[in-house]
Structure 1
Amino acid sequence: MESPDRILIVDDDPEIRRLLVDYLAKNGFEALPARDGREMAQMLDKHAIDLVVLDLNLPDADGLTLCRDLRTRSNLPVLMLTARGEETDRIIGIEMGADDYLVKPFSPRELVARLKAVLRRTRALPPNLQAETQRCLAFAGWRLDTATRVLTAPDGVVVPLSGGEYRLLRLLLEHPNRVLNRDQLTELLHGRTPGPYDRAIDVQISRLRQRLREENAPQIIKTVRGEGYVLAAAVEGRASCD
């Protein structure tokens, strides 16, 4: 029998922790509580966690900082949980590496749906493809440091990436010379199926091409007509970008 997904609930409100642990247990998950950043670190050391539900406001640390620090050493999915509803906070959360964002008060049923969606797209890599584990991914003279998320051009110039641009580039680099269609990219990056007129992926590809200095004649990220996009370069995994 398959073991249930293990969810770490990091929230300083004991009532919310109890509610979520109980509700998730009734819906096929194993949930573990942590009240602050210190307990979160302890739980991550002791247990194999599949996803972290992380509150933005904690007594000993900022949830955004914890999310960013977690991203420097792990690809563990993170769902931000907060009372803040401003668009800026949501954007910052995603830029720090959060996979989704849920505003309090919320329905536990919606949380379960979001958790399942995040886990599904995290695991939805195309068959027989595995993510690179090396810290540095080198391609066509470029280098991407997956720990610091720093992209360096062949001439040594550091090119800034948004959270979305980083995730798209990382996904393409983990599947070099393989065509990924729009449905796959949209599901993996956004957790949804694109509509017939959804051009979000095309816009993201265009922006990433600008970062890679190939707006006019793409050589690294090529369009395969009627199929999708392909990173047309050899990718070398290295222990360090130094």
Structure 2
Amino acid sequence: MTTLVYLLEDDLDISRLIERSLAQQGMTTRAFRRLAEFERELRRQTPDLCLIDLSLPDGDGLSLINGNALPDTMPRVIVTGRGSVTDKVVGLEIGADDYITKPFEPRELVARLRAVLRRSRRTRATAGESTREIAMFGDWTADLTACTLIHTDGRKVTLSSSENSLLEAFLRAPGRVLSRSNLLDATQGRSNEPFDRSMDARICRLRRKIEKSPKDAELIRTVYGAGYIFTADVDWR
């Protein structure tokens, strides 16, 4: 099956470069220059992945990623000229699965998109199996096949594919210190870019969903100079 990618990019030269690079890998790209037409097409058909620029003629890509227009489990990757660490951390914290800055090497772009797609497809494939992966920890029950968390008070929280993979990595190794490198390997998110703050941002997103107080984390604790440790006991069902 052909991979369908939606590209929201108002620079025609960059748009053509991306379309050409993905076409060489057998992917189909539909390019949009404006947020309004992108959202209109999204309601008609859901792609396998979205590539989103941040600076748009009729809106801000961050608002799109942070809003409700994109399905929770659909991978979304930011491709932008904003290259500061702050912009990257914000983009990843609000839900992007990866953050790629311009100018970029087309081969690296393709490799990183493939990594994001592998994570997403693995999650969907697991969800389609009859055996469900259920883990209980603290006040939460995690259904990894459905990418959902249920709190003892009845609240239901949806996880993105990247958040689901990250939580699973912790649940598989409770009480063990995991370095950023360990977590990148476990979530298949390693890239050639020396940006370990990206993992910090993903953990921040996950903490906001499972911790009572993200600023005083109890479940995912930082081990300074070493990585992170998941402190709760885990009961698999």
Which residue number corresponds to residue 116 of structure 2?
118
Question: Are 1:41 and 2:39 counterparts?
Answer: yes
Q: Alpha-carbon deviation of 1:143?
A: 2.5
Distance 1:115 1:213, change over 3 A: closer
Which residue number corresponds to residue 158 of structure 1?
none
Q: Alpha-carbon deviation of 1:171?
A: 4.4
Q: C-alpha separation between the residues in 2 aligned to 1:11 and 1:43?
A: 15
- Asked whether the 8 Å contact 2:165–2:187 carries over to 1, the reply is no
Distance 1:131 1:38, change over 3 A: farther
What's the Cα RMSD here? 4.0
- Asked whether the 8 Å contact 1:77–1:119 carries over to 2, the reply is yes
Q: Alpha-carbon deviation of 1:103?
A: 0.4
Larger radius of gyration: 1
Question: Are 1:75 and 2:89 counterparts?
Answer: no
- Asked whether the 8 Å contact 1:186–1:192 carries over to 2, the reply is yes
**Matches for 1:89-168 after TM superposition, within 5 Å:** 89-125=87-123, 127=126, 128=129, 129=132, 131-132=145-146, 137-141=149-153, 143-146=155-158, 167=163
Offset from partner CA, 1:122-141 (integer Å, 9 cap, x none)? 2234853463377xx43333
**Matches for 1:1-242 after TM superposition, within 5 Å:** 3-70=1-68, 73-125=71-123, 127=126, 128=129, 129=132, 131-132=145-146, 137-141=149-153, 143-146=155-158, 167=163, 171=167, 180-181=172-173, 186-187=184-185, 189=187, 191-192=189-190, 211=213, 221-222=232-233, 230=234, 232=235
Offset from partner CA, 1:119-174 (integer Å, 9 cap, x none)? 1122234853463377xx4333363443xx8xxxxxxxxxxxxx9xx9259945xx
Q: C-alpha separation between the residues in 1 aligned to 2:61 and 2:187?
A: 22
Distance 1:188 1:4, change over 3 A: farther
User: Where in structure 1 are there 5+ consecutive unaligned residues?
Assistant: 150-162, 223-229, 235-242
Distance 1:142 1:46, change over 3 A: closer
Q: TM-score normalised to the size of structure 2?
A: 0.64
Letter in 2 for 1:20: I
- Report which stretch shifted further, 82-91 or 41-50: 41-50
Give SS of 2:122's match.
Answer: coil
Q: TM-score normalised to the size of structure 1?
A: 0.63
Count of aligned pairs: 192
User: Where in structure 2 are there 5+ consecutive unaligned residues?
Assistant: 133-143, 222-230
